[in-house]
Structure 1
Amino acid sequence: MSTTRRTRGKSRAMLDLIEASHKILAEIQPATVRAVCYRLFTLGLIPDMSKASTNKVSRQLVYAREQGIVPWEWVVDETREAERVSTWHNPDEIINAAVRGYRRDYWQDQPVRVEVWSEKGTVRGTVAPVLNEYGVTFRVMHGFASATALNSIAEASNDSEKPLIALYVGDYDPSGIYMSEVDLPERLGRYGGKVHLSRIALLPTDTGRLPSFDVETKAKDGRYDWYRTRYGR
């Protein structure tokens, strides 16, 4: 990455941050700013995931894109994406698109259905290559999933003859753990859903090699006492 002329006046620390962010995005793009922040945090390049730290990264990524260091399409903002219906110039165009987009559903021959659920959309860029290769459905729960979304999943699980296995990815903090251990199983059960939920990340075995912060920083979280009792500080 040749950035000498475009980053004149930047401190060494900011240059290193931009360079590290570029390397991360080259691997996981398209990704959100927060996804980049998570990676920077695990690398020890930002001290925490506080608003001050993530805002600093956000500002540098804006600068990097404006200067042409990082391609604009590498960073996505899922909260502000435009939505519109698909339109076509003529019938031949939609037929050609359908032919190009055809892909056999290999899961129709499997005894179960598998989906990956994520607390946040920040991991999409990381897991997308595997999901795309195997045609696995990806659901972003956006924190505590809505009743509407969970009821729809529960109904679909009852309409299908195949068991549904949901592989869950979430934060290792009071709310993140509570979502997969208590909230989702309880509400899916209440709605009559037939879903086998299995948390695959983050797990206790992952935490030993990652930077951590004291649970006291989450003291205002409604699940703080529940987490502290079970997992300590």
Structure 2
Amino acid sequence: MPNRRPRGPQPHWRPQRKTLRVLAAVDEVLDRYRDHLPVSLRQMFYVLLSDGVLEKTERDYKRMCEYVGMARRSGRIPWDMIRDDTQIAVDAPASFTGTEDFWAAVAVAADGYRVDRQAGQPVRLELWCETAGMVPQLARIGAEFGIACYSGGGFDGLAGKHDAADRAAAGGMGTRILHIGDYDQSGEHMFTSLAQDVIAFAQAAGADVEFERVAVTAEQVVIHSLPTAPPKATDRRSFSGTATTQAEALPPDILATIVREAIASHRDPAIHHQALAREENERRAIRVQLPPRPKR
């Protein structure tokens, strides 16, 4: 029997009144956090939960996902506002229509020229996040300081752990990994497993790596009144708390503030400003050496 679920674009979709109520709340959330887009579906759910629009049930989460999915198919919500976690893409190699197109790309690259903004700082920082859907938001924050962001979900990412140790060894200075993950049994044990493995690989390579839990912490759950759930009864692993919270429960603006403060605590602002000044001077020097841009 064929699957009767909608496929492809749905430009003629006409949502019911109850659906419109939820979508109006979704629109308000997207506008509220427009400086932190894209958001993941889980983040959207927790904001709507906090706003009293939805209840913390699997049924309401699935219902929201269906509404948002149809809103995207119909064109009501732009595709780039929501982060999907299920696709990994590798772009094709860069190509050009001709030499003029190439030099135009070089000019754009010159405009975006950057130095290593971590050079000279006390430690080299990396951002790691348990949830892949939050990576674009964190990467936007890290980019200002020249900090890369990685998704560190799961216990079996052995190659990723080894790569982290290699980066620490190549960096020539101590590395501190700022980690964002769920506050539950799995999140705590994932953090411990990740830290122990990366540190062991780094030590074998003669490098120094430290881990710092940035979010979610027990204090943040209380301060920000985050929604919680009981620990899974089937999970017998030790847990420091009495209730669990997912990382997506932190509103995007609060998460951004927490991450910025964690980064700032390990940055020398004078060195950062010197890097920005050098960057602009060298950018100007590069522009002078480029051939004139063709007139259109």
- Mapping of 1:1-233 within 5 angstroms? 9-11=16-18, 14-26=19-31, 27=33, 28-48=36-56, 50=58, 52-89=59-96, 90=98, 91-144=102-155, 146-180=157-191, 182-193=192-203, 194-208=208-222, 209-215=225-231, 218-221=232-235, 224-227=236-239, 230-232=240-242
Q: Is the 8 A contact 1:119 1:169 kept in 2?
A: yes
Give how far 1:94 is off: 4.0
Q: What's the TM-score, normalizing by structure 1?
A: 0.81
Label 1:30 to 1:59 Cα distance change in 2 as closer, same or farther (>3 A).
Answer: same
Q: Give how far 1:145 is off.
A: 5.3
- Higher relative contact order by CA 8 Å / sep ≥ 6: 1 or 2? 2
Secondary structure, aligned partner of 1:105: coil
Deviations 1:106-135 (A, max 9, x none): 211312111111001232354344223223
Listed as ranges, the gaps of 5+ residues in structure 1 are 1-5
Structure 2: give runs of 5+ residues left out of the alignment.
1-12, 244-296
Question: What is the rounded CA distance, in whole Å, between the counterparts of 1:22 and 1:45 in structure 2?
Answer: 12
Bigger CA radius of gyration: 2
Residue 15 of structure 1 aligns with an amino acid whose one-letter code is L
- 1:198/1:8 CA distance change after superposition, 3 Å: closer
Question: Are 2:29 and 2:44, in contact at CA under 8 Å, matched by a contact in 1?
Answer: yes
What is the aligned residue count? 219
TM-score by length of 2: 0.65
Identity of aligned residues (%): 23
Distance 1:164 1:49, change over 3 A: farther
SS of equivalent to 1:111: coil
Of stretches 19-28 and 158-167 in structure 1, the one that deviates more from structure 2 is: 19-28
Matched residues in 2 for 1:9 and 1:21: separation? Answer: 15
